[in-house]
């Protein structure tokens, strides 16, 4: 998704400037051409030579550099996208005020391509009403922001202001480069992960779902402008910090978590792998080792069928089916029986950890998709929105 894309990276004078080196490296490895503008203060934190050696592209640090062979706004015309990472309170304020007193701020005013700011600063700076106001002004004008994470800050404080994982910046850039904000004002509910059905306090029945497909859909929908709510069963993956998430351990927990709020959503993806069976009589105490034993199972409640039967007319309901045989036929039968708008049938015999092969079906259409799960997530959204 980044191959041959022209990415202009603006680095400003924040403590997280060193993390932009890894970002430049990953973008370059993914096949993008990365040119860098560093502010004078950024050069106090990291050396331009590091960026030049990694990107094999020009790194411009001075406004009036006679040797740079770059006209003052030519980089603005060159870029497919401009990402400022990390973005100081200063560069955000200057841009909001229309100030152009160095190469990066001038380029920010001249650029026509999308701009993504990755603010990173002390928690009190980020909370400052002036900084908040500047972010609001720029957001209302179409500039994009990836909010910082919460945690320990270099200044010794705890709070919101940390530079996020570079992978999250990359997901955001990939989306901005290829897709519109076509889910703006849509409320999207996504379930992800594998439920656990307790046999006793130590043991449970579960399945192989990693949760990555659901999280990929959640990221893709969020970066396309949706208001996303996640309900996660078990996953060992990190939940994207910018999403609302509640956890639901078992099929019964998931049933309540979903059905309690489903009415409020325009689009629902039931991606979680919910157990079809649960122990009929889970033991309150750990079961002692003894003779062979039979474990009696009972059916869990069918969440998807319940949603299909009670679906508001404006709602689009998408089910998932992990299949190992007769993939399309089984999925089509489930689509009709559960009154779904779409079903995504996942061929578990060929799908891997990061890549997947799916068939997406509606009542009158069908498409096969395969590849990286984040890319497939976007393709599923495209199919739902545009057929
Ligand atoms: C050690 C140190 C760390 C700093 N870290 C940050 C930071 O993380 N975020 C921020 O907005 N400003 C930070 N500043 C302040 C900026 O460097 C200062 O506002 C500067 O004018 C930014 O210039 P620039 O935006 O042109 O790069 C830091 C300053 C110092 C001395």
Taking only the tens place, the pLDDT of each residue in 58-76 is 999 977 666 665 666 789 9
Delimit the CATH 3.40.50.1950 region(s) of the chain.
6-178
Q: What is the pLDDT of residue 50?
A: 97
Overall average pLDDT of the 25-32 stretch: 98
Q: 12, 14, 37: which to mutate for ligand 1, most atoms within 8 A of CB?
A: 14
Ligand 1 centre distance from Cα of residue 231 (Å): 38
Q: What is the pLDDT of residue 64?
A: 67
Q: Residue 197: pLDDT band by 50, 70, 90 thresholds? A: very high
Q: Is the shortest distance between the CB of 46 and ligand 1 below 6 Å?
A: no
From the list 166, 207, 217, the residue with the least C-alpha distance to 34 is 166
361-372 per-position pLDDT tens digit: 999 999 999 999
158 CB contacts (<8 Å, ≥6 apart)?
123, 150, 151, 152
Ligand 1 centre distance from Cα of residue 81 (Å): 23
Q: Is the shortest distance between the CB of 90 and ligand 1 below 6 Å?
A: yes
pTM of the entire predicted model: 0.95
**C-alpha–C-alpha distance, residues 350 and 36, integer Å:** 40
Which of helix, strand or coil describes residue 50? helix
Ligand 1 centre distance from Cα of residue 14 (Å): 4
Q: What is the pLDDT of residue 157?
A: 81
What residues are paired with 82 via a beta bridge? 8, 115
Q: How large a percentage of the chain has pLDDT more than 70?
A: 97
The first and second tokens of residue 363, run together, are 């009542």
> What letter does residue 66 receive in the DSSP assignment?
T
Q: 11, 13, 132: which to mutate for ligand 1, most atoms within 8 A of CB?
A: 13
Q: What is the pLDDT of residue 72?
A: 66
**C-alpha–C-alpha distance, residues 35 and 58, integer Å:** 6
Q: Is the shortest distance between the CB of 85 and ligand 1 below 6 Å?
A: no
Look at residue 323 and tell me whether its pLDDT is greater than 90. no
Instruction: For 187-386, give the CATH class.
Output: alpha beta
Overall average pLDDT of the 238-246 stretch: 96
Q: What is the pLDDT of residue 347?
A: 83
**C-alpha–C-alpha distance, residues 217 and 249, integer Å:** 20
Ligand 1 centre distance from Cα of residue 360 (Å): 48
State the closest ligand 1 atom to the C-alpha of 102, by its place in the atom list counted from 1: 26
Q: What is the pLDDT of residue 324?
A: 81
337-376 per-position pLDDT tens digit: 999 999 999 888 776 789 999 999 999 999 999 999 999 9
Look at residue 23 and tell me whether its pLDDT is greater than 80. yes
Q: What is the pLDDT of residue 322?
A: 87
- Alpha-carbon Rg for the chain in angstroms: 24
Overall average pLDDT of the 224-236 stretch: 98
Q: What is the pLDDT of residue 156?
A: 80
From the list 210, 179, 207, the residue with the least C-alpha distance to 195 is 207
Ligand 1 centre distance from Cα of residue 57 (Å): 25
Q: Is the shortest distance between the CB of 61 and ligand 1 below 6 Å?
A: no
Q: What is the pLDDT of residue 67?
A: 60
Ligand 1 centre distance from Cα of residue 80 (Å): 27
211 CB contacts (<8 Å, ≥6 apart)?
192, 193, 194, 232, 233, 234, 235, 236, 237, 272
Task: Say which range, 149-153, 164-168, 192-196, has the weakest mean pLDDT.
Answer: 149-153
Q: Is the shortest distance between the CB of 28 and ligand 1 below 6 Å?
A: no
| DSSP, residue by residue, 126-193 | HH-HHHHHHHHHHHHTT-EE-PPEEEE-TTS-EEEEE---HHHHHHHHHHHHH---TTTT-EEEEEES
Which is more confidently placed, 65 or 202? 202
What residues are paired with 359 via a beta bridge? 345, 368
Q: What is the pLDDT of residue 161?
A: 95
The CATH fold of domain 6-178: Rossmann fold (3.40.50)
Which residue's alpha carbon is nearest to atom 2 within ligand 1? 15
Q: How many CB atoms lie within 10 A of CB 128?
A: 15
80-126 per-position pLDDT tens digit: 999 999 999 999 999 999 999 999 999 999 999 999 999 999 999 99
Delimit the CATH 3.40.50.10300 region(s) of the chain.
187-386
Catalytically active residues are 155
């Amino acid at each position: 998704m980044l191959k041959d894309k022209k990415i202009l990276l603006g680095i400003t004078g924040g403590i997280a400037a060193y993390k932009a080196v890894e970002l430049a490296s990953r973008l370059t490895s993914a096949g993008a051409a990365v040119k860098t503008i560093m502010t004078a203060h950024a050069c106090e934190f990291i050396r331009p030579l590091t960026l030049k050696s990694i990107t094999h592209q020009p790194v411009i640090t001075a406004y009036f550099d006679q040797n740079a062979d770059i006209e003052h706004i030519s980089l603005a015309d060159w870029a497919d996208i401009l990402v400022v990472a990390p973005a100081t309170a200063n560069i955000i304020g200057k841009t909001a005020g229309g100030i152009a007193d160095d190469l990066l701020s001038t380029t920010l005013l001249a650029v026509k391509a999308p701009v993504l700011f990755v603010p990173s600063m002390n928690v009190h700076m980020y909370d400052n009403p002036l900084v908040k106001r500047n972010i609001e002004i720029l957001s209302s004008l179409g500039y994009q922001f990836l909010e910082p994470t919460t945690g320990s800050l270099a200044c010794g404080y705890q709070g919101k202001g940390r530079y996020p994982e570079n992978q999250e910046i990359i997901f955001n850039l990939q989306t901005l480069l290829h897709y519109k904000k076509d889910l703006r004002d849509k409320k999207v509910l996504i379930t992800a992960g594998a439920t656990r059905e307790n046999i006793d306090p130590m043991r449970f029945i579960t399945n192989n779902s990693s949760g990555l497909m659901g999280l990929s859909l959640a990221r893709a929908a969020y970066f396309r402008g949706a208001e996303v709510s996640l309900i996660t069963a078990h996953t060992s993956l990190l939940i994207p910090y910018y999403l609302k998430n509640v956890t639901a351990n078992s099929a019964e927990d998931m049933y309540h978590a979903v059905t309690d709020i489903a009415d409020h959503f325009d689009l629902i993806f039931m991606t979680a792998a919910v157990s079809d069976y649960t122990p009929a009589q889970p033991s309150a105490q750990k079961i002692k080792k003894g003779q062979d034993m039979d474990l009696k199972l009972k059916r869990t409640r069918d969440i998807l069928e319940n949603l299909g039967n009670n679906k508001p007319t404006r709602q689009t309901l998408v089910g998932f089916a992990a299949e190992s045989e007769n993939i399309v036929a089984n999925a089509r039968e489930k689509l009709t029986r559960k009154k779904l708008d779409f079903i995504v049938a996942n061929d578990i015999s060929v799908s891997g950890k990061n890549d997947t092969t799916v068939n997406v079906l509606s009542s009158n259409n069908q498409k096969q998709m395969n590849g990286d799960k984040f890319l497939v997530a976007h393709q599923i959204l495209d199919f739902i929105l545009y057929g």
